[in-house]
Chains A and B, each alone.
Chain A
Amino acid sequence: MSGWDGFLHGLSVALQPGVLIYCVLGVVLGTFVGVLPGIGAMATISLLLPITYYLSPEAALIMLAGVYYGSQYGGAVASILLRLPGTPQSAVTTLDGYPLAQQGRAGVALFTSMISSFLGSFFGIFVLILLSGVLSRAATAFGAADYAAMMLLGLVAASTIGAKHPAKGFAMVVLGLILGCVGTDVNSGEQRFTFGQTELMDGVNLVALAMGLFGVAEVIANIHVAERTGVPRRIALRELLPSRAELRRIPFPALRGASLGSFFGALPGTGSTISSFLAYAAERRISRHPERFGNGAIEGVAGPEAANNAAAISAFVPTLTLGIPGDPIMALMLGALVIHGVQPGPLMLAERPDMFWGLIASFGIGNLLLLVLNLPLIGIWVSMLRIPFRWLYPAILIFVCLGVYSVRGSSFDIFAVALIGAIGYALSLARFNPALLLLGFVLGPLIETNLRRALLISRGDPMVFLHRPIAAAFVLATAALLAMSLLQAIRRKSRGPDRVASVNGEAE
């Protein structure tokens, strides 16, 4: 079955009333749990899992998938309005989304993120239809050396995000790498930096880290602030929408982000995180006004949002066609399929075309629904900002605790989030960028295990990184990027201190 025939066949599955209703249910639920800080797709899907026993496998998968990509839309709302990202991907959205909201332009930021998410998803769907065969081969073509090199590129490229003060950005990445070392070493089974705590054996909880660094730190920072400024009392519809000039700045960043997302999303692991950071770094690099980034650049919202939504779509390719889940949520969805006696893997496309193409078609329907659902909601989301702090912030803390606890039912993680929140506040006082810490934290362990695995397999020969074509390409790209940054730095220095001062002044 070719891609298009498959898609049309899938539509006939996904549009059956008994299936469609679960798609609607999934995306609506996803949007709302995505908005609630900390309570993300993961917790929702695990709660819904027992219910799916009673559904057809198609309906079950389509509903759970709806929660997954629906929560990406909702997650952007929390990141933009409240600086509460639940995942490293949405942490990138806070970089420019939150400044926009602080300038009273929350509506514009939300509109941008929703349109970009929609564009990204549809781009992802088209890529999937046209290239599902190629994408599924990509995952087996990538070996340990290739992954290590790819993640190195991601780390180096994204480290320049906080280039206002490169040293500070670098410090955050390194701190993230160190935190990523906590836990059981895969190769030796030894425990590193766990201080005898069984709870730390699997490492620091990512959700606790994200919630602490952003959410809790933000709450602490606002304790001494009387009320929010810059939120208009009454919001006219026109103020929610971007101006024509701003509108023009959405499509190209969104398309670039979506292409990055579609490619990296198909690679199991952290495709989605890497693509968001790369999309942001790329927009910043090609922009004629890089100084706008971090201060409310539309492109800084559009690129990463399109990237993570495209990645959310293409992440289903390895999950379904290889049975290789890219992240814990995908693993949960595999579990849901196994309950129904469906074993995702290489035979999925041939044996269960209804399910595979029905799911793909439901992505289209679901994303259309999400756009229709979310655009009118922008006004309501923005008016959330008018909730007085004394109500909003305690509520946020409660949701953060619920969300962190829901990950693995551990009260240890609640204390961890409190401690991390305090550290996050200290970091924000010193103007460090916690998004980079998250990046280092996520990529560090992956680079390490893949590097060590690559060297183990090559029996210790480091040339493996140059002999494998994919790895070599990433290593060269990384080297080129470093050389470029170095050249730029040297040129800037030779232009004299005045110029540097003015650039910094603009950026501050």
Chain B
Amino acid sequence: MTITRRAAFMGAAALTLCKPAFAQAAWPTKPLRTFVGFPAGSSPDLLARIVTDPLATALGQPIVIENKPGAGGVIGIQQMLNAKDKDYTFGTTINGPMTTAPRLMPNLGYDVATDIMPIVLVATSPLVLVVAADFPANDLAGFIAAAGKEPEALSYGSVGKGSGAHLTAELFSDRAGVEMLHVPFTSYAPVTTAIIGHEIDAGFMAPSAAMQYVKAGTLKILGITSQKPFAQAPGVPVMAGQAGLPADFRAELWNAFIAPTGTDPAIIKTLNTDINTILADGAVQKRLEDMGWQAAGGTPEDLQQRIAQDTKIWGAVLDRIDAKN
């Protein structure tokens, strides 16, 4: 009798103890929220949806996209960190809020190292150096020679201080040993117009944004910032190792999935595995390529490393910019 009762008690206790484990196995039991720091229809938003649609199917729960645009993607991260729904709150981010934002914004409100858990790198996009179709030089060496004639002989457009286009151009100038005049704009479209209209000479932009104009004969591309040639920019030479640039020259925008610190590591692992599976799918890769992005993937540690690397590279570029002013 006693034994049976004890056994029953033990059994009940075991059940109680198991409960969290069962709940864990059943995760997710309700819809997930993914914060995107950019408006609906923007490229980070579309990237997020390409991944979350199949991810929702894999997890068996809907994924709600919360667009919280503003401050270059920083507001989306702040909102993700404010959400109290542990294990059900995630975010996608571009590189800026993870790497350069801490330098550029004194009131950031989060620490990348302690507040963010990386999940996986989703996709990367290199930038291409474009000039007007009738620009005198036809290759990178000619461009560098023209830019090197005197300081600020050539001007370039970016989408604001600290933007990918700005930092890439400054990294390029530093490695090539030239000085170019920086003309900030608010978005890529007017940069393109200004180059076509000969107001400015050059600019770094996404290949997908530039290819159309190349086909239409109004722009030409002198090089790409990735380490390998890029499917979306056929025939465009890699800049690294060319015209005196170091072989490790690389500048890429990226997009990643992240979670707030405190998320169950097992969940991070599940999400990482599922998203890696999605990114290995040819149809998903094709959709990303159509938008000018290359599927990435890898472990959370890979992403962690990428964040650290880029923070260092761009931090050095920012130092150089600050020293100039």
Contacts and interface: CB of A to CB of B under 8 A. Distances in A.
Interface of A: 46, 49-50, 139-144, 184, 186-189, 191, 196-199, 201-202, 268, 322-325, 328, 331-336, 338-339, 341, 343, 345-347, 408-410, 449, 453, 456-457, 459
Interface string B231-252: 0000000000000000000000
Contacts of B213: 345-346
Contacts, number: 131
Contacts of A449: 185-186
A188 B197 contact: no
A402 to B, nearest CB: 16
Given A268-B190, A408-B70, 10 more contacts: A143-B197, A184-B160, A189-B160, A201-B71, A201-B74, A202-B71, A324-B193, A408-B69, A453-B185, A456-B183
B161 A46 contact: no
Interface stretch (B17-25, B39-47, B261-269, B277-285): B39-47
B197 A409 contact: no
Interface in B289-308: 290-291
B66 interface: yes
Interface residues of B, number: 52
Contact of A408 (B39, B196, B211): B39
Contact of A409 (B67, B104, B187): B67
Given A198-B78, A332-B39, A332-B41, A188 B194 contact: no
A410 B67 contact: no
Contacts of A197: 107
Contact of A322 (B39, B40, B181, B193): B193
List of 6 A-B pairs having minimum Cβ-Cβ separation, nearest first: A335-B41, A189-B161, A346-B216, A345-B212, A46-B40, A324-B189
Given A143-B197, A324-B192, A335-B42, A457 B71 contact: no
Nearest to A139: B193
Contacts of A202: 69-71
B183 A457 contact: yes
Contacts of B152: 459
6 contacts: A184-B71, A331-B41, A345-B213, A346-B212, A453-B184, A457-B200
Contacts of B105: 191, 198, 201
Contacts of B187: 331
B173 interface: no
Nearest to B155: A457
Contacts of A141: 197
Given A46-B67, A187-B184, A328 B39 contact: yes
Contacts of B71: 184, 198, 201-202
B212 A49 contact: no
A143 B199 contact: yes
B42 to A, nearest CB: 6
B70 to A, nearest CB: 5
Contacts of B220: none
B109 interface: yes
B162 A189 contact: yes
A325 B189 CA distance: 7
Interface in B144-164: 152, 155, 160-162
A287 to B, nearest CB: 37
Contacts of B108: 198
Interface in B98-138: 104-105, 107-109
A336 B43 CA distance: 11
B317 to A, nearest CB: 13
Nearest to B152: A459
A453 B190 CA distance: 12
B273 interface: no
Nearest to B78: A198
Contacts of A189: 104, 160-162
Given A186-B184, A328-B39, A347 B194 contact: no
A339 B155 contact: no
Given A453-B183, A457-B183, A410 B70 contact: yes
B6 interface: no
Contacts of B290: 341
Contact of B75 (A199, A323, A325, A331): A199
